[in-house]
Each structure stands twice: as C-alpha cells, then as structure tokens.
Chain A
C-alpha cells in the first residue's frame, strides 16, 4: 500500500464524483436542503391546517340542560365555533347522526351520582363523540373547555356562598409547573431528530458513491483500465473506501448543520407561537456534543462504506448495485428505533449494538450526558465492525472473477459457495490482493 498512490486515486474519485449529478444530489444537496425545505413545508402546512381548524364549526346537540344553570347553555351557544343544533329528540337519534357524520358531539346533562347530591343543583355531563373523526374530537375538546370553565366559576361562587376561604379552595386546584429549561426542551426535540437523521444521512451519503466506484466502474468498463495502473490493488480499494466514507461523513455533517440551523430559524418560532408562551425553546448544543457527533459520523461512515462496498462489489451494473446495497440503508433504520426511547441513556448492552449505539451516544451528547466508558465501548464496537468488514472485503477480493467483475452471483450465493463450502477449486482461483 502506497499513500502517494492512494492520494492520487482518492483525488481522482472525488473529482469524478463531484461531477456526477446523482452523487451531488444525494450526498450534498439533499442533506443541506432537505430539512429547511421539509420543516418549512411542515410548518406552513401545520399553520394552514390549524387555521382551518380554528375557523371550523362544531355541530353539537344538547340534551336536558339543567334549569339551574342557564349561563352554561348561554356559554355554549355564545361560543363562536360551537353550533348548537335544535330539533334532535333523544340521545339515540343524536348518536346515529354522529356516526353518520352529520353531527359532531352530543352533550347530555345527567343527574348527579349519590355522593354529588350534597351540592345543590349539581349535575353530570356526558359528551358523546366519534374518536375516529378529527372534527368530532375537536367538538369534544371545545365543549369540555366551556363546561370546565363554567364549573370552576360555579364552584368559586358556591365556595364564597359557603364562606370557604380562597386558601382552602386552592388546595384542590391542579397546578402544572414545567421545570425544564428552554434548552432542555430544545434538547428533547434535537435528541429525537438529530441522531436518527444523522445515521440515515451518513448511510445515504455512502449509498451512491459505494455503487458508483464498484458496479459503476464495471458498467462504464473503466474497471479493467484501473486494474492496469501501477498502483497496488490494496491502494485502489483503500482509496475507493476513503472516497465513499468521505461522502458519508460529508452528508452527515452537512445534514446536522442544516438541521441545527433549521430548528433554530424555523421550528423555534413556530413552537413559540403554538406553545403557552411561558418558555421559549432553545436549540443549542453543549460544546462537547459537536466532536462526539463528528466522531460518531466518521465511525458510522467507515462502517457503512465498508458494508455497502462489499455488497456493491458483486454487482455488474449500477442498477444491480442499487438493488444489492439499498437493504443496508433500510436495515440501518431498525437499530435507530431503539435510540428513540427518550427516557433511556447509553447502557453496556446498547453500546454493543452497532448503529443503535452511535444514535444513543449522539442523543446523550445533545442532552449533555457523556458516559465516557460506554462511548469508548460504542466506538470500539463500530471499529470492530469496520475491521470485520475490511477483512471480509480482503477475502472476497482475492477471487479473480469477483475482482474482474465476471462473477454473476450475489454476496449470499458467494458466501455459501466459497466462504462456507471451502471448495478447493474456488480457492485455487484466488489471487493475493495485497501483492498487487
């Protein structure tokens, strides 16, 4: 292996790749523009839908309103988004209308249960609605809000009448207090999004280059040309490997940067608008999270590049390569799901699961949690996988027909025929990759 040769070959691969539209699109443009565009579309769509919902009318039927509480009925009728329908007789008829979609909710006032009779004019309210229908759920929420507000006011009045002090009444109130800081709430969102998309983007960044530099070379008939240059086979493969990993890292880093900027510029104002306004989301990262994310992106890129190149080296055409390599991309998603459990941190067991460990390590870092021994285990596991893949690649590329692209089977067939069966004939056809 010669580092001068590797540098020349690497530069050649990068230059060639930067002129290929598909690679630039997948590995650079998509990671950069996906999130700003996606988040803008989502926020615009969200505001549009919220606006429509705000203006929509909830069709409601009220049965047996309590005579002692005319103000409640007035409040429901006065609500700008509640349309109280008259003329529906009986709950059965109303329920049928809800099921047929002609009505959104039925508000049925009932006599209080035995223990509630102590309070004069007490009542119960049953709200019937169709949970499977959005506008019916919205009607339930609107009615419940009006009834709850009225109930609080009524209880206040009754308490004053019974001379119960405010302090005593306050004991029965439910008070919410969110102790999270704006940064912690921001970290919760970033912890859910960034690890998942970083892993996927690193894999996506490796996908097309891994096919382009193996199956693509064969399809363009440049593979044999490359086999005649004076650089060793090992230098050729190493340069290609670094090239694929570079695009994986590039896609990952660009993506995280774009997402970070998008969250601050698009999502934070949106959340401030729809939230309770008491605490703004802050999207900032602990300083140490950045090197952790970069190291994770490098380790993931080295792993994906090796795995994808092994599979792509069995393909003769770009199309075959896509069919062989794409499953790796989807498989990468499975371990990420483990990292989506927001109440977990890295454990020795999770640190032993490739990809999931990196996703969890990144999420911990975003939350300011740095479990150094487990992070070391994570990197060790990923690098072990990389070494295993490279050893496998070295074994596979010793077979001349595979090296020259005349083998016409898949990785699985190859493994069954030659790696597991140990056929003497196939072994005789091996050539030493390191020897040139």
Chain B
C-alpha cells in the first residue's frame, strides 16, 4: 500500500521461559495502517496486542519478520522510529516530581522537537487540553483525570505522525473514556495514523476504521466493521469476535 505509515510483515515474537521453553507471543502477523486511519487491534487479555505494539515502539525486538513506521525499520532505525511515534499505555506513567509543563518540555526536547519551537508547542498543548490551571503543579499532586490529559499531551508533544494507544481507557471512568475517544478522533482528523488496542468491543466499533481480531498471537480477521459483518453474517462486533475465535478453536480441537 502506497500511503501506509505502518507496515508489519510476518512479525514474530518468542519469549524464553525456564519451565515452558520457547513461548510464541506473536505469531507471524501482517497488517498495515494508513495516514488518517484508526487501526484497531481487538483481542482478549494475553492475545499478543501489547507485545505487538511494544515491537512497533521498539521496546521489544522482534524474533523474526519486519515492521516499519513512517518508513523507518524497527530493527535498524529504532531511534528514528521512536521519534516518529507517540506511545500511550496504562503502563506509561508520568514523572511525579515534575510539573505538567516540565513534563511536556522534557518529552518535546528528548524527542527532538525543534528546540526554539518547544515553548510555543507546549503552550499550545496546554491551551488545547485546558491544563493551564495546573500546568505548574507537580504531577504527583494532580487527580487521575488531570494526569490523563497531561499524558495525552506528552504523547503528542513532539508532533509524531504515528500514535499508538494501548488500552488507553483501562481504569478510566465513563466520562474520561469518552473524552479519550474524542481526542483520538480529533487526532485522526488531523491526519495522524493511530493504532488502537482494546478488548472493549464497543470502543472498537465506535472508533476504528479497520479492526484486526487477534487471538493467541495470530490475526484471525482484518477489515472494516462492514467487511467483518459480511464475512461472518453477524452484526455486532462482540458476536463477530466470538465467531472468529470459536472457528479457530474448533479447527484446533479437530486436529
């Protein structure tokens, strides 16, 4: 695909476990994501979503296969990949002893946003997310809602073309989750490429332009919601998901 910002080909990741030996967490997956698209990775806990996203973010090294972000190879150009990427997950916390403003400045500079534009960029994000009132307070003193806004601003402060949101609404209340979904839509409209992982079906239904159903490290089906409906004859994503997973389970048990 010509305008693909993210390309994944036969990507695998195996871990070594003392008792179980080699464990294959991601098993030869392929997909690509386009500019201005929200690409959903839908799967149960332990399906391989986070491992896939961590490989794309170069936090983990693939065992085999290829992946590139914004034209940069994750294996050979990890620093350029990370410069082109904003990564948000429940396990990417903020530095508690820094203020919100210091946090944004630090992440802008370390991700090589032009130094003379950092101040302007930080101020614009403070205004955009309405965090001016507490931008000078230390993060440790803020509520979880305030931290969430600063976290999103931290993710996009260096204006990366690709964004990864790994289960971003886990632990959020309904209003905060809706706010997060709204931000993701806005970012897509700005032309960002977004990879969004979740195990919440309704979220994927509402947000994602295309959805990959991932199970036991493999992508079982990939397409728009309409394409999934046509392929399975099911209307709701929850039913589609169960249908795909059950089909694989039946095949495996018949072997």
Which residues in A have some Cβ–Cβ distance to B below 8 Å? 5, 8-9, 12, 15-16, 19-20, 220-222, 224-225, 227-232, 400-401, 404, 417, 423, 425-426, 428-429, 431-432, 435-436
Chain A residues with CB below 8 A from B63, complex form: 428
Q: Please tell me if the beta carbons of B16 and A224 are within 8 angstroms of each other in the complex.
A: no
Chain A residues with CB below 8 A from B138, complex form: 19
Q: A15 touches which one: B21, B77, B89, B102 (CB < 8 A)?
A: B102
Q: B106 touches which one: A12, A228, A417, A423 (CB < 8 A)?
A: A12
* A229 and B111 contact, Cβ closer than 8 Å, known pairs A425-B16, A429-B15: yes
* A425 and B21 contact, Cβ closer than 8 Å, known pairs A16-B98, A19-B138: yes
Q: List 5 A-B contacts (CB under 8 A).
A: A20-B97, A221-B92, A229-B111, A428-B14, A432-B61
Least Cβ–Cβ distance between B224 and chain A, in angstroms: 29
* A228 and B97 contact, Cβ closer than 8 Å, known pairs A19-B138, A425-B22, A426-B16: no
Chain B residues with CB below 8 A from A20, complex form: 97
Q: A231 touches which one: B79, B80, B89 (CB < 8 A)?
A: B79
Q: Please tell me if the beta carbons of B93 and A225 are within 8 angstroms of each other in the complex.
A: yes
Q: Mark B97-125, 1 if CB is under 8 A from A, else 0.
A: 11000100011011110000000000000
**Chain A minimum-CB-distance residue to B74:** A436
Q: Please tell me if the beta carbons of A221 and B98 are within 8 angstroms of each other in the complex.
A: no
**Chain B minimum-CB-distance residue to A19:** B97
| Bound-complex Cα distance A225 to B95 (A) | 9
Q: Please tell me if the beta carbons of A230 and B97 are within 8 angstroms of each other in the complex.
A: no
Chain A residues with CB below 8 A from B16, complex form: 423, 425-426, 428-429
Is B57 interfacial (CB-CB < 8 Å)? yes
| Bound-complex Cα distance A269 to B237 (A) | 85
**Chain B minimum-CB-distance residue to A406:** B15
| Bound-complex Cα distance A265 to B85 (A) | 59
Given contacts A220-B96, A224-B91, A228-B85, 9 further A-B contacts (CB under 8 A): A15-B97, A225-B93, A228-B87, A229-B110, A230-B83, A230-B111, A404-B59, A425-B16, A428-B14
The 7 A-B residue pairs with the shortest CB-CB distance, nearest first, are A436-B78, A221-B93, A425-B16, A230-B83, A228-B87, A225-B92, A431-B61
Chain B residues with CB below 8 A from A12, complex form: 95, 98, 106, 110
Is B49 interfacial (CB-CB < 8 Å)? no
The tally of CB-CB contacts under 8 A between chains A and B is 86
Chain B residues with CB below 8 A from A228, complex form: 57, 59, 82, 85, 87, 92
Q: A230 touches which one: B82, B89, B91, B154 (CB < 8 A)?
A: B82
Q: Please tell me if the beta carbons of A232 and B79 are within 8 angstroms of each other in the complex.
A: yes
* A400 and B110 contact, Cβ closer than 8 Å, known pairs A224-B91, A225-B92, A436-B78: no
Q: Mark B27-57, 1 if CB is under 8 A from A, else 0.
A: 0000000000000000000000000000001
**Chain A minimum-CB-distance residue to B61:** A431
Is B180 interfacial (CB-CB < 8 Å)? no
Q: Please tell me if the beta carbons of A8 and B91 are within 8 angstroms of each other in the complex.
A: no
Q: Please tell me if the beta carbons of A400 and B61 are within 8 angstroms of each other in the complex.
A: yes
| Bound-complex Cα distance A222 to B107 (A) | 12
Q: Please tell me if the beta carbons of B92 and A230 are within 8 angstroms of each other in the complex.
A: no
| Bound-complex Cα distance A400 to B55 (A) | 12
Is B142 interfacial (CB-CB < 8 Å)? no
**Chain A minimum-CB-distance residue to B60:** A400
**Chain A minimum-CB-distance residue to B164:** A228
Least Cβ–Cβ distance between B39 and chain A, in angstroms: 18
| Bound-complex Cα distance A126 to B83 (A) | 89
Q: Please tell me if the beta carbons of B93 and A220 are within 8 angstroms of each other in the complex.
A: yes
For window 70-84 of B, CB contacts with A under 8 Å fall at 77-80, 82-83
Chain A residues with CB below 8 A from B201, complex form: none
Q: Please tell me if the beta carbons of A9 and B110 are within 8 angstroms of each other in the complex.
A: yes
Q: Please tell me if the beta carbons of B21 and A224 are within 8 angstroms of each other in the complex.
A: no
Is B58 interfacial (CB-CB < 8 Å)? yes
| Bound-complex Cα distance A230 to B82 (A) | 5
Q: Please tell me if the beta carbons of B98 and A15 are within 8 angstroms of each other in the complex.
A: yes
**Chain B minimum-CB-distance residue to A239:** B110
| Bound-complex Cα distance A12 to B85 (A) | 21
Is B94 interfacial (CB-CB < 8 Å)? yes
Chain B residues with CB below 8 A from A5, complex form: 110
| Bound-complex Cα distance A426 to B112 (A) | 34
Chain A residues with CB below 8 A from B79, complex form: 230-232, 436
Q: Please tell me if the beta carbons of B94 and A222 are within 8 angstroms of each other in the complex.
A: yes
| Bound-complex Cα distance A231 to B82 (A) | 8
| Bound-complex Cα distance A163 to B63 (A) | 107
Chain B CB within 10 A, most for which of A5, A429, A432: A429
| Bound-complex Cα distance A12 to B94 (A) | 13
Chain B residues with CB below 8 A from A431, complex form: 60-61
Chain A residues with CB below 8 A from B21, complex form: 425
Least Cβ–Cβ distance between A421 and chain B, in angstroms: 11
Least Cβ–Cβ distance between A89 and chain B, in angstroms: 78
| Bound-complex Cα distance A428 to B12 (A) | 13
* A230 and B60 contact, Cβ closer than 8 Å, known pairs A15-B98, A19-B97, A436-B78: no
Least Cβ–Cβ distance between B133 and chain A, in angstroms: 21
**Chain A minimum-CB-distance residue to B14:** A428
Chain B residues with CB below 8 A from A417, complex form: 18
| Bound-complex Cα distance A426 to B102 (A) | 39
Chain B residues with CB below 8 A from A8, complex form: 106, 109-110
Q: Please tell me if the beta carbons of B95 and A222 are within 8 angstroms of each other in the complex.
A: yes
* A231 and B97 contact, Cβ closer than 8 Å, known pairs A15-B102, A428-B16, A431-B61: no
Chain A CB within 10 A, most for which of B61, B83, B87, B158: B61
Q: Please tell me if the beta carbons of A229 and B82 are within 8 angstroms of each other in the complex.
A: yes
* A221 and B91 contact, Cβ closer than 8 Å, known pairs A8-B110, A228-B82, A230-B79: yes
Chain A residues with CB below 8 A from B83, complex form: 230
Chain A residues with CB below 8 A from B57, complex form: 227-228
Chain A residues with CB below 8 A from B61, complex form: 400, 431-432
| Bound-complex Cα distance A34 to B141 (A) | 32
**Chain A minimum-CB-distance residue to B109:** A8
Q: Mark B124-154, 1 if CB is under 8 A from A, else 0.
A: 0000000000000010000000000000001
| Bound-complex Cα distance A15 to B16 (A) | 38
| Bound-complex Cα distance A328 to B5 (A) | 49
| Bound-complex Cα distance A124 to B203 (A) | 104
| Bound-complex Cα distance A401 to B51 (A) | 12
| Bound-complex Cα distance A429 to B94 (A) | 28
* A224 and B110 contact, Cβ closer than 8 Å, known pairs A16-B95, A231-B79, A429-B16: no
